[in-house]
């Protein structure tokens, strides 16, 4: 089949409870930079290849999220170039995650398919897999 070439899932938008806290988390832990901040309720961050939009949950809707135990989004991943980069990111996360409101969920582990990863949550409980995956980690 010929047609447009999909480059990958390079954009994710998350609704967050506290925009400032979430922004600090993604800037501090992952080194993302602000691309655009159109207003006080939205910020668009980038890693250089990926784009993350953070949208403040409106004040009148926050109560709906206060006691939420489950979530529809299981996790999303940040692809690393090599297993050593996963370890370097884990060291960085360990130093900053508690101060910035997240939590390490699973420590680094090698998987059956030769991938290597760990899991961390952001301040709103969204789970992020930091992943080296040999079939896609070296693609642009």
27-81 pLDDT per residue, tens? 999 999 999 999 999 999 999 989 999 999 999 988 888 777 667 688 999 999 9
**Which residue segments constitute the domains of the chain, with CATH numbers given?**
11-59+74-132 (3.10.180.10)
Pairing of strands 127-132, 116-121: antiparallel
- Cβ neighbors of 7 (< 8 A, separation 6 or more) are none
C-alpha 25/C-alpha 110 separation (Å) is 26
pLDDT for residue 5: 62
C-alpha 44/C-alpha 20 separation (Å) is 12
What's the pTM?
0.83
Per the document, the length of the chain is 140
Per residue in 118-130, pLDDT tens?
999 999 999 999 9
Neighbours of 96 (CB within 10 A): 16
Instruction: Please name which of 58, 50, 45 lies closest in space to residue 11, comparing C-alpha atoms.
Output: 50
CB 41 within 8 A of CB 55: yes
C-alpha 116/C-alpha 129 separation (Å) is 10
Neighbours of 32 (CB within 10 A): 21
pLDDT for residue 140: 60
Is the per-residue pLDDT at 102 higher than 80? Answer: yes
């Amino acid at each position: 089949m010929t047609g447009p070439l999909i480059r990958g899932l390079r954009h994710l938008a998350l609704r967050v409870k506290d925009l400032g806290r979430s922004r600090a988390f993604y800037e501090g832990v992952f080194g993302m930079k602000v691309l655009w901040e159109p207003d006080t309720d939205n910020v668009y961050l980038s890693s250089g290849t990926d784009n993350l939009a953070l949208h403040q949950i409106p004040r009148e809707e926050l109560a709906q999220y206060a006691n939420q135990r489950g979530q529809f989004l299981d996790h999303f991943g940040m692809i690393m170039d090599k297993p050593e980069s996963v370890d370097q990111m884990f060291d960085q996360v360990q130093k900053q995650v508690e101060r910035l409101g997240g939590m390490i969920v699973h420590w680094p582990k090698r998987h059956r398919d030769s991938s290597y990863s760990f899991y961390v949550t952001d301040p709103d409980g969204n789970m992020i897999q930091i992943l080296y995956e040999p079939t896609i980690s070296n693609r642009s």
